Amino acid sequence: MKRLLLLLVTIFASATLFACTPKSPVEKLKKLADKVEKSHESYTDEDWEKVNQEYIKLKAEFEKKERDKEELKEFARQKGRIKGYMTKRTLNKWGKKMENFANELEGGIEGFFEAIETIVEE
């Protein structure tokens, strides 16, 4: 009975240890990419900075060891997902800036011609 109990405790302890083993950088990056995909629309500049810092950390961890072709490909795929959402955010910000600039330009041109009209009328 004691042997059986000892065996069960050993199996349970081993399973717990293996369950808590750290994930590879590829798995961590995939988890980060999934999180970005799910929540990117509500991210603030601070959130994006945290994502970038986490990516830099994972990239450094990934580059510590030689990786096989599949790991390299999967890491690049997850990196591409994150960079894609970052690019989408940047393009949206630029689009808003361009829209604001166009509105300002339109208003400025209208004001300029209104001033010219009053000068001509005088």
pLDDT of residue 8: 58
**CA terminus-to-terminus distance, the chain:** 111
Q: Render pLDDT for 60-118 as a digit per residue (tens, 0 to 9).
A: 999 998 889 999 999 999 999 999 999 998 898 898 889 888 889 898 898 888 888 88
**Alpha carbon separation from 74 to 54, 55, 63, 69, 89 (Å, rounded):** 17, 14, 14, 9, 23
Q: How far is residue 50's CA from residue 120's CA, in Å, rounded to a whole number? A: 57
Burial of 105 (0-12, 13-18, 19+ CB in 10 A): exposed
The domains of the chain are located at 24-121
Q: How far is residue 85's CA from residue 73's CA, in Å, rounded to a whole number? A: 19
Q: Render pLDDT for 10-22 as a digit per residue (tens, 0 to 9).
A: 676 665 555 555 5
Specify the pTM.
0.65
Q: How far is residue 58's CA from residue 68's CA, in Å, rounded to a whole number? A: 17
Q: How far is residue 92's CA from residue 8's CA, in Å, rounded to a whole number? A: 57
Q: Render pLDDT for 35-61 as a digit per residue (tens, 0 to 9).
A: 999 999 999 999 999 999 999 999 999
What value, to the nearest 5°, has the Cα angle with vertex 72 and ends 71 and 78? 85
